[in-house]
């Protein structure tokens, strides 16, 4: 599956509204030995949220653990160009370019996205639940 920022952040922040759900899903991922792909924009976005909300040590711990257990994927220029075209399809929605890149990668690889963001439903992306 491809990870979005929300669940990655929620697994770490005990005050996040999705923390318990994210912890449960993380256990399921580990038990079922599922493979998690983390696009570089998600990696950077999660690190930044952790840095500004929970501090340097939490952000650094995430960065190190993510490097050890997840497959980091760097989107290509074509992925970004396709993502721009994708957000243009939904002018009435506030879909971020990062989310559109995730959607493009998910479609290309026929993988679901681990997310709590309804915009993936809007973009008709398979969501892992």
The topology under which CATH files domain 2-128 is Rossmann fold (3.40.50)
Domain residue ranges of the chain, discontinuous segments joined by +: 2-128
**Mean of per-residue pLDDT scores for the chain:** 96
DSSP 3-state of 127: strand
pTM for this entry: 0.94
Chain mean position to CA 97: 12
Tens digit of each residue's pLDDT (9 = 90 or more) over 17-63:
999 999 999 999 999 999 999 999 999 999 999 999 999 999 999 99
Tens digit of each residue's pLDDT (9 = 90 or more) over 115-128:
999 999 999 999 99
67 confidence band (pLDDT: 50, 70, 90) = confident
Kindly list the strands in the beta sheet with 71-73, ordered across the sheet, starting from the edge strand earlier in the chain: 71-73, 37-39, 2-3, 113-114, 127-128
DSSP 3-state of 73: strand
């Amino acid at each position: 599956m491809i990870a979005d920022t929300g669940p990655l952040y929620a697994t770490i922040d005990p005050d996040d509204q999705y923390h318990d759900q994210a912890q449960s899903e993380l256990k399921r991922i580990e038990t079922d030995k599922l493979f998690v792909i983390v696009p570089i924009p998600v990696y950077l976005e999660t690190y930044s949220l952790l840095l500004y909300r929970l501090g340097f040590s939490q952000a650094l711990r995430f960065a190190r653990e993510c490097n050890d257990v997840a497959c980091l994927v760097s989107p290509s220029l074509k992925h970004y160009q396709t993502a721009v075209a994708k957000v243009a399809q939904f002018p009435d929605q506030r879909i971020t370019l990062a989310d559109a890149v995730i959607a493009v990668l998910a479609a290309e690889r026929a993988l679901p996205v681990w997310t709590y963001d309804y915009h993936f439903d809007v973009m008709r992306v398979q969501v892992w639940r």
